[in-house]
Amino acid sequence: MPVITDTVLLTFKLATPVIYKEKLLGVTFLVAVLLVSQFRQIRTATSFLVRRIHGVLYLFSGPELIDRAYNRVQGKPFKVPTPSNDHLFITSTSLIKELINAPSQSLSLHAVAKEVCDAMINTRRPIYLTKKQILQPNYTMCGFEVQDHRGIEGTGYVRALRSLLTSHLPKFQPHLEGIVKNALLTGLRDVQPDAQNTEFTSAALDFPQAVAIAAEVLRITPEFMRPLVASIVTNRHKAATTIYRYLVPIIEQRLVVRGLQSNEATPMDCMQWLIDNSPRKIPWTPAKMVGEIMAVWFGSVHQLAMTSTYAIQDLCLHPEYVEPLKIEIRDYFHLNNSLRDVERLPLLDSFIKESVRNSNFDAITCRRKALVPYTFQDGSSLNKGDWACIPQRAMMQDSTRYRDPQTFDGFRFAHDNAQHQRHKQSTEISGQKESKFTDATLDWPIWGLGNAACPGRFYASLVTKLILIRVLEDWECKLLEPEAPRSMTWRSSIVPRSSTIIMFRKKHL
Ligand code: HEM
């Protein structure tokens, strides 16, 4: 019996690996079947994960990812994932034209602004609470930008800004020159020469910074914590509350005398233009008007500041341009008995343009959000919520568009213009016709394009030029560490580092 037992045992022992093997085969088979049946889900999950990882990478290396993709596809549209949506990049003339001519109910600039500003809505909540009578709960700080598709009521002011601000620039210029001079003299501590109100000025300066930081923090903050986080990040909305406190009574007072004053007595500033162009049928509240002002203020500060900063740094890095620029200013800007006209300074215009081309502060421009799924003529498609944009930095660094694009050539645009005037053929796309810093063209899309092109660009150009003129005339400047990195990236922005130190020494005139 033991033999039999032994045999059974032996057989069992011998069979065990076979049984295991069969079990293993069975399990493997089952897993395989499961995997195959779940393949689509796994593939979706994997691609979701990869997209998320790419999206997070975009936060830290957006411009590099865009540039790399641009170089890979050679002129074709391409997509870059971001944490919240996909960006479709287009570069061909026909697609760009389609982008800017698409109805705003399909592709909208203001929906892009709304996406950014939505985070800011949370920053306002405590202001609603403290100023309920003034600020309606449905009021949005971003004013005109916050509707997805900007209605007729919102466009009047931007139109007014475009025409009135631009036409008043010669009148404003002496005052702007005074502000720039004083700001430089006081090490940027006093930007208001007559120092009427330092509390308001510092709130106005703090506001764009506070909102930009809050908007980014809130994008990654869970919904329920947003009011608290917004309050912490904005120091209990200090800057915004101060601005409202000062501007609302001024607007209220101006509304009382609306239409009763003579032209001479009517103030000449952006607030007045806003009042004059606000709807009369369903009037805006003073708070809504202040929101509009703050939205324009917010939009006008960062890009202008970055443009001027990089231009001053470029003066330090390329001192060979200082002398020719100074000569041009002396000969054409200070001409006796003539208007101090920055339009007479083609070398300065070219230098600033090259500075923007070379150290572009934003890798993308002309953002439009798809409010509905959208398919371009070439078949490139956008899902609802995705953005279409132009990869301006990559295009400006493209050797098929610009000769020797990695080299800083401060007068490249002036030379091309001169060449154009001499009716010579240029090989550069940007040199085919005379160009200016304020152009809003397919070759120079930094201001956006079409009807939405930046209405503040003539003002921005004037201020940047006045800053450079003052620096060139009164100051010697150099970078403390010329080799150190000058910028850092966040999403598509290429922001000047606050650690970069420029040393200014006043010239003895
Ligand atoms: C260097 C400085 C500036 C740059 C590069 C710049 C660039 C832009 C761009 C790219 C757009 C979007 C246009 C589009 O996508 O088609 C825009 C819109 C706008 N910009 Fe500027 N901007 C600058 C300064 C200013 C200033 C100083 C102001 C105000 C005085 C201003 C007011 C606006 C407004 C109100 C809009 C919205 C236009 C609309 O709603 O139709 N910008 N800007």
- Stretch (H or E) spanning 27: helix 2-37
| CA 83/CA 219 separation, integer angstroms | 10
Distance between Cα 62 and ligand 1 center (Å) = 21
pLDDT, residue 97, reads 96
Tokens coding 257: 């005398």
Q: Does the Cβ of 157 fall within 6 Å of ligand 1?
A: no
pLDDT, residue 47, reads 75
Task: Determine the atom of ligand 1 nearest the C-alpha atom of 154.
Answer: 40
Task: Take atom 41 of ligand 1 and give the residue whose Cα is closest.
Answer: 452
Q: Does the Cβ of 96 fall within 6 Å of ligand 1?
A: no
Q: Does the Cβ of 300 fall within 6 Å of ligand 1?
A: yes
Q: Does the Cβ of 396 fall within 6 Å of ligand 1?
A: no
Task: Take atom 36 of ligand 1 and give the residue whose Cα is closest.
Answer: 454
Quote the domain boundaries for residue 416.
Answer: 61-506
Distances (CA, A) of 326 to 170, 340, 461: 22, 14, 18
Task: Take atom 20 of ligand 1 and give the residue whose Cα is closest.
Answer: 454
363 and 394 Cβ atoms separated by less than 8 Å: yes
| CA 240/CA 245 separation, integer angstroms | 9
Instruction: Establish if 147 belongs to a structural domain.
Output: yes
Instruction: Establish if 372 belongs to a structural domain.
Output: yes
**Mutation test of ligand 1: which of 454, 459, 468 has the most ligand atoms closer than 8 Å to its C-beta?**
454
Instruction: Establish if 26 belongs to a structural domain.
Output: no
Instruction: Establish if 435 belongs to a structural domain.
Output: yes
Q: Does the Cβ of 453 fall within 6 Å of ligand 1?
A: yes
Q: What is the pLDDT along the chain (509 residues), one digit of tens a residue?
A: 333 444 444 444 545 555 567 777 777 777 776 666 677 777 777 877 887 787 889 999 999 999 999 999 989 999 999 988 999 999 999 999 999 999 999 999 988 876 665 544 444 433 333 333 222 222 234 333 444 555 545 567 787 889 999 999 999 999 999 999 988 998 776 666 555 678 898 899 899 888 888 888 887 788 888 888 888 988 988 999 999 999 999 999 999 998 787 888 889 999 999 899 888 888 889 998 998 899 889 889 999 999 999 999 999 999 999 999 999 999 999 876 667 899 999 999 999 999 999 999 999 999 999 999 999 999 999 999 999 999 999 999 999 999 999 999 999 999 999 988 886 555 555 546 789 999 999 999 999 999 889 999 999 999 999 999 999 999 999 999 999 999 999 999 999 999 999 999 999 86
Instruction: Establish if 4 belongs to a structural domain.
Output: no
pLDDT, residue 17, reads 56
The answer to the question of whether 366 is labelled as a binding residue is no
268 and 164 Cβ atoms separated by less than 8 Å: no
Closest to 387 measured CA to CA, from 116, 102, 86, 77? 86
**Mutation test of ligand 1: which of 269, 359, 360, 447 has the most ligand atoms closer than 8 Å to its C-beta?**
447
pLDDT digits (tens, 9 = 90+) for 179-231: 999 889 987 766 665 556 788 988 998 998 888 888 888 877 888 888 888 88
CB atoms within 10 A of CB 126: 18
Instruction: Establish if 10 belongs to a structural domain.
Output: no
Domain of residue 375, CATH code? 1.10.630.10
Q: Does the Cβ of 309 fall within 6 Å of ligand 1?
A: no
Tokens coding 90: 């287009």
| CA 128/CA 137 separation, integer angstroms | 6
Local structure of residue 283 (DSSP, 8 states): P
Distance between Cα 95 and ligand 1 center (Å) = 22
Task: Take atom 13 of ligand 1 and give the residue whose Cα is closest.
Answer: 448
pLDDT digits (tens, 9 = 90+) for 55-99: 889 999 999 999 999 999 989 999 999 988 999 999 999 999 999
| Structural domains in the chain (count) | 1
Q: Does the Cβ of 99 fall within 6 Å of ligand 1?
A: no
Tell me the β-bridge partners of 494: 489
Instruction: Establish if 316 belongs to a structural domain.
Output: yes
Tokens coding 308: 């001027």
Instruction: Establish if 339 belongs to a structural domain.
Output: yes
Q: Does the Cβ of 454 fall within 6 Å of ligand 1?
A: yes
